[in-house]
């Protein structure tokens, strides 16, 4: 769908630093407004600068408190921060159960911090389709860092590695955390491990267990994965966390690893956009009487869905070739 003059003005306002325009564009992305692809196409030349940090780990690990403190530390360096807090979706509304006003309230009046809660909407990996697109909006808006805090439900966390430049895995020294880490596969995605609530008994033991498991990993690159002990509710260890993030960022830039990641992401993004456009075109063509009859046959069980899909695709391609 072509972008309207009203939407062009909204994008211009957002690019000019208007937070309300940014909020409205995020809402359009979440609701899958028909102009979303055109809007993202328009802002694409303004993207590619922000650095993305993923924060994951089991529920109750104190991720939101940690993120709150990391935001504070980055703001002291005059960085602009965008946060996407991915929450479990309501089974009734599809929206985020937890609201951004509950989290990170210290930063609500800071014009250089923008926080948005986002429902996962049942998406695999706990990360909705809109997450990547909101990241683009943040990037175009001029954010230096984008922090994605994921819902924290084991296996569904693993796709954070496809979005984040640096992945923080946050754990707490309760019994079973180290075993859960291995089961969830978090050992494979963490660039920095954080033992939060380190004032509790067992923190040192958990830190040593994580270091031991890291030592068993194949040495695929020269990055030595650090383990940082924090007590986020007391603001302890946060300076070290930020230092390790910046060190990992520099390591990737120096070794062209960040460039390789972004080349891969652009390729994946291309196929996702292509798939969405094809899906939309087919959906539009299905409104014709001939294709509707095929769909009805499939719905009624009179035609195999695989045969029906191939038949519809062949008719669409034949029709479009005729137009050319």
Strands (E), 106-239: 113-119, 145-149, 166-171, 192-195, 227-229
Predicted confidence at residue 101, as pLDDT, reads: 40
Cβ 190 vs Cβ 171: under 8 Å: no
- φ, ψ of residue 149 to 5 degrees: the values are -100, 120
Predicted confidence at residue 272, as pLDDT, reads: 85
Q: Write out pLDDT tens, residues 219-245.
A: 766 899 999 999 999 999 999 999 999
Cβ 316 vs Cβ 282: under 8 Å: yes
Residue 268 forms beta bridges with which residues? none
All CATH 3.40.50.300 domain ranges in the chain, comma separated: 47-254
pLDDT < 50: residue spans in the chain: 90-97, 99-101, 122-126, 155-156, 175
For residues 80 and 145, what is the distance between their CA atoms, to the nearest angstrom? 7
Cβ 112 vs Cβ 76: under 8 Å: no
- φ, ψ of residue 62 to 5 degrees: the values are 85, 30
Strands (E), the chain: 51-56, 81-87, 113-119, 145-149, 166-171, 192-195, 227-229
Residue 212, classed as helix, strand or coil, is helix
- φ, ψ of residue 119 to 5 degrees: the values are -70, 140
Q: Where are the alpha helices (DSSP H) in 192-237?
A: 203-216
Predicted confidence at residue 127, as pLDDT, reads: 61
Q: Write out pLDDT tens, residues 61-82.
A: 889 899 999 999 999 999 999 9
Predicted confidence at residue 90, as pLDDT, reads: 44
Predicted confidence at residue 93, as pLDDT, reads: 41
Predicted confidence at residue 319, as pLDDT, reads: 66
Please provide the CATH number assigned to the domain covering 47-254: 3.40.50.300
Taking alpha carbons only, the member of 109, 147, 152 closest to residue 19 is 109
């Amino acid at each position: 769908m072509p972008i309207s003059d009203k939407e062009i003005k909204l994008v211009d306002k957002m690019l000019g630093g208007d937070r309300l325009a940014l909020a409205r564009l995020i809402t359009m992305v979440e609701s899958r407004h028909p102009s979303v692809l055109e809007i993202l196409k328009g802002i694409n030349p303004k993207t590619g600068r922000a650095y993305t940090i993923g924060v994951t780990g089991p529920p109750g690990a104190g991720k939101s408190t940690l993120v709150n403190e990391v935001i504070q530390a980055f703001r002291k360096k005059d960085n602009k921060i965008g946060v996407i807090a991915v929450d479990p979706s309501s089974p009734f509304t599809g929206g985020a159960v937890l609201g951004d006003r509950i989290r990170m309230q210290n930063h609500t009046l800071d014009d250089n911090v923008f926080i948005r809660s986002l429902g996962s909407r049942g998406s695999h990996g706990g990360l909705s389709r809109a997450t990547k697109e909101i990241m683009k909006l943040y990037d175009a808006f001029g954010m230096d860092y984008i922090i994605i805090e994921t819902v924290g439900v084991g296996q569904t966390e693993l796709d954070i590695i496809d979005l984040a430049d640096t992945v923080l895995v946050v754990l707490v020294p309760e019994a079973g955390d180290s075993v859960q880490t291995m089961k969830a596969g978090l050992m494979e995605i963490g660039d920095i491990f954080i033992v939060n609530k380190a004032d509790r008994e067992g923190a040192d033991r958990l830190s040593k267990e994580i270091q031991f498991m890291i030592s068993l990993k194949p040495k695929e690159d020269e990055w030595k994965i650090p383990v940082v002990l924090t007590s986020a509710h007391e603001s302890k260890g946060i300076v070290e966390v930020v230092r390790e993030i910046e060190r990992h960022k520099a390591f990737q830039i120096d070794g062209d690893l960040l460039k390789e990641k972004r080349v891969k992401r652009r390729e994946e993004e291309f196929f996702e956009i292509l798939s969405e456009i094809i899906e939309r075109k087919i959906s539009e063509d299905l409104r014709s009487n001939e294709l509707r009859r095929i769909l009805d046959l499939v719905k009624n069980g009179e035609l195999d869905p695989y045969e029906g899909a191939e038949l519809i695709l062949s008719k669409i391609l034949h029709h479009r070739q005729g137009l050319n």
